[in-house]
């Protein structure tokens, strides 16, 4: 057996290599010695951590001869490797919607663990499961810590699934939000990572380079009985402010739920802060032992089977889509509400549209009214364009987190400006846009299919909504940054993935600007799906229908 252990001493980091005498292994290390600072110290060899590549090569070579252990050798460690089954929910779920069977299992297992990490694939309903767990445990008040882009969605999900009222913490309630709990008005409070200091820190004992011990929290954090940490991989670095503050807030809570489809972004070390937030590091012998045992070796990853088993026994579960397909419908839609960044510009455009709509509705001459239709449609589209540009920041944040799971995504857009903003942030993306030749389109499709380093394809609704095939072979996720006017056109775009060759359930995301025309139009399209029949009418009829619809939206 070969045991390779990463050590740290006065002269820096180095590897100690232990093994029973074997001539081939000795010759291999002697060969390394001629090119490095490797030394034999009687019982083991040492080599500087700077020669990680050499150690990796040696470890691969040694595996053909004997077992190789990365990290400290086992010391009286016994792990029961019996497969861990999730609990079954045998009590009423108390939600407004019926969870899928696997979601019920997640709720039940969460009730058993209390402080745990749900690592389900994106699209499997981690939000619903965490809400169901907290609700059944009656662990209120509950604090939800999440990225800024999905605060509104968390609020809506609580209202959709339960009778509890959720409040987004903002500058208006910095000091008054506890009164809403005391008055029985709100049971859930939602905050983004960047605002934790503002709401929950009384003072820092050190202005710079502060540690968790230097934070004086407001006593009000003791109020919370449960904490949900969404996209918990954002806390993968102990030194980051959001990791330290989240850990301090979650400390001592009866229920702490971390949610992430990618809890390990790079190495097992990413898990340590999340385990600390959940108060679960003691199951791994504390931080130092966790690092030594599971983060050693050339790849800083060791004893992974053991790590996975102990996680699943104490505080972790994960299901991939392929495991629960029997429970999923062919297509799942989810609305993601965005806070637009250009609210003033939007309000000006909306005011301008409403004024022009009134003139159009008041026109008593048919010819004048007809001549105004084109201008009305232009101003309606301007309003939608302003909303689309305002959503870009939240869209980028969501997509960036999503693709870390290793899954691909199709993004539908309309505006060239929106496409270029996304391409600037995701330069590895390929596109299908107006003006592309058939060869250009196929080249983008082929690249998206065959290259694992291309996670995104940005598609124009008009250029890729029909006549595009092949995306479904490697992708199950489609998102609309902008969306068409009609249900029929939405379906055409969705069905670039929901078609023959698709082996999974298709997740469809619609990004809607909060308090914008997006929400109103989407609601009408979903309620009146037969609007698709309008495409059989004349152009004038379709435009008039759209104008009347928008006029009704704004009560003109």
Name the range with the highest mean pLDDT among 119-123, 322-326, 395-399, 495-499.
395-399
In-domain check, residue 85 = no
User: How far, rounded to the nearest angstrom, does the alpha carbon of residue 542 sit from its chain's CA centroid?
Assistant: 38
Cα(261)–Cα(277) distance, integer angstroms: 17
The burial of 349, by beta-carbon neighbours within 10 Å (0-12 exposed, 13-18 middle, 19 or more buried), is given as buried
* Mean pLDDT across 310-320: 95
Same domain, 290 and 398: no
Same domain, 131 and 241: yes
In 6-100, which ranges are continuous DSSP H helix?
23-33, 52-62
In-domain check, residue 500 = yes
Answer whether residue 518 shows pLDDT above 80.
Answer: yes
Same domain, 418 and 546: yes
Tokens linked to 398: 């969501």
Q: pLDDT value at position 539?
A: 36
Q: pLDDT value at position 289?
A: 85
* CATH number for position 234: 3.40.50.10810
Same domain, 281 and 417: no
Tokens linked to 523: 């609601």
pLDDT digits (tens, 9 = 90+) for 375-407: 778 888 899 999 999 999 999 999 999 998 899
Q: Which region among 49-58, 117-126, 302-311 has the lowest average model confidence (pLDDT)?
A: 49-58
* 61: containing domain: 2-70
Q: pLDDT value at position 545?
A: 57
* Mean pLDDT across 72-96: 84
In-domain check, residue 91 = no
Q: pLDDT value at position 391?
A: 96
**Which residues share a beta bridge with 5?**
16
In-domain check, residue 92 = no
Same domain, 409 and 264: no
Which of helix, strand or coil describes residue 74?
A: coil
Same domain, 366 and 504: yes
What backbone phi and psi angles, to 5 degrees, belong to 321?
A: -55, -40
Same domain, 453 and 523: yes
pLDDT digits (tens, 9 = 90+) for 168-187: 999 999 999 999 999 999 99
Tokens linked to 334: 């989810």
Nearest Cα to Cα of residue 553 among 414, 354, 369, 340: 354
pLDDT digits (tens, 9 = 90+) for 465-485: 888 889 999 999 999 999 988
In-domain check, residue 75 = no
- CA geometry: angle at 420 spanning 414 and 424, to 5°? 145
**Domain final residue pick, 70, 93, 126:** 70
In-domain check, residue 86 = no
Cα(442)–Cα(469) distance, integer angstroms: 9
Compute CA distances 478 → 394, 417, 482, whole Å: 16, 20, 12
Question: What pTM value is reported for the model?
Answer: 0.76
The burial of 178, by beta-carbon neighbours within 10 Å (0-12 exposed, 13-18 middle, 19 or more buried), is given as middle
The burial of 300, by beta-carbon neighbours within 10 Å (0-12 exposed, 13-18 middle, 19 or more buried), is given as middle
As for how many domains the chain has, the answer is 3
Give the DSSP letter string of 306-366.
HHHHHHHHHTEE---HHHHGGGS-SEEEEEEEE--S-HHHHHHHHHHHHHHHHHHHH---H
Q: pLDDT value at position 535?
A: 40
Contacts of 170 (CB under 8 A, 6+ apart): none
In-domain check, residue 277 = yes
């Amino acid at each position: 057996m070969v045991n390779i252990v990463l050590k740290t001493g006065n002269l820096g980091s180095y590897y100690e290599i232990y093994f029973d005498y074997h001539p081939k292994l000795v010759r291999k290390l002697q060969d390394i010695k001629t090119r490095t600072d490797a030394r034999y110290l009687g019982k083991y060899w040492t080599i500087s951590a700077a020669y990680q590549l050499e150690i990796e090569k040696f470890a691969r070579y040694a595996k053909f001869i004997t077992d190789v252990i990365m990290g400290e050798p086992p010391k009286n460690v016994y792990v029961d490797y019996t497969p861990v089954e999730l609990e079954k929910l045998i009590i009423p779920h108390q939600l407004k919607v019926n969870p899928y069977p696997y979601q019920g299992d997640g709720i039940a297992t969460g009730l058993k663990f209390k402080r745990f990490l749900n690592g389900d694939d994106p699209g499997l309903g981690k939000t619903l499961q965490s809400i169901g767990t907290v609700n059944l445990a009656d662990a209120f008040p509950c604090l939800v810590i999440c990225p800024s882009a999905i605060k509104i969605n968390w609020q809506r999900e609580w209202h959709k699934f339960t009778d509890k009222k959720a409040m987004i913490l903002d500058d208006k309630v910095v000091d008054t939000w506890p009164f809403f709990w005391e008055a029985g008005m709100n049971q859930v409070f939602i905050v983004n990572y960047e605002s934790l200091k503002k709401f929950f820190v009384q003072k820092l004992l050190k202005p710079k380079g502060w540690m968790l011990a230097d934070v004086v929290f407001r006593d009000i954090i003791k109020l919370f009985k449960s904490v949900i940490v969404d996209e918990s991989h954002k806390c993968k670095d102990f030194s980051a402010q959001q990791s330290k503050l989240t850990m301090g807030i979650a400390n001592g809570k009866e229920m702490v739920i971390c949610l992430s489809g990618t809890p390990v972004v790079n190495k097992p070390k990413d898990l340590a802060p999340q385990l600390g937030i959940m108060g679960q590091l003691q199951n791994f012998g504390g931080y130092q032992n966790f690092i030594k045992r599971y983060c050693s070796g050339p790849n800083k990853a060791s004893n992974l089977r053991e790590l996975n088993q102990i996680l699943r026994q104490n505080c972790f579960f994960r299901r991939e889509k392929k495991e629960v397909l029997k429970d999923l419908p062919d297509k799942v839609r989810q609305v993601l509400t965005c806070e637009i960044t250009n609210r003033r510009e939007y309000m000006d455009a909306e005011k301008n549209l409403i004024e022009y709509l009134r003139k159009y509705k008041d026109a008593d001459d048919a010819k004048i009214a007809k001549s105004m239709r084109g201008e009305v449609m232009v101003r309606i589209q301007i309003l939608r364009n302003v909303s689309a540009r305002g959503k870009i920041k939240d869209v980028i944040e969501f997509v960036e987190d999503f693709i870390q799971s290793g899954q691909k995504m199709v993004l539908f857009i309309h505006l060239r400006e929106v496409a270029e903003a996304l391409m600037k942030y995701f330069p590895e993306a390929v596109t299908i846009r107006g003006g592309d030749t058939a060869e250009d389109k196929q080249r983008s499709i082929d690249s998206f299919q065959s290259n694992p380093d291309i996670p995104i394809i940005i598609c124009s609704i008009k250029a890729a909504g029909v006549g595009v095939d092949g995306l479904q072979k490697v992708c199950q996720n489609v998102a609309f940054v902008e969306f068409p006017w009609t249900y029929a056109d939405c379906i055409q775009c969705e069905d670039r993935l929901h078609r023959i060759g698709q082996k999974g359930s298709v997740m469809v995301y619609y990004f809607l600007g909060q308090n914008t025309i997006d929400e109103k139009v989407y609601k009408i399209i979903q309620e009146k799906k037969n609007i698709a029949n309008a495409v059989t009418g004349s152009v004038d009829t379709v435009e008039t229908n759209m104008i009347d619809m928008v006029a009704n939206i704004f009560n003109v």
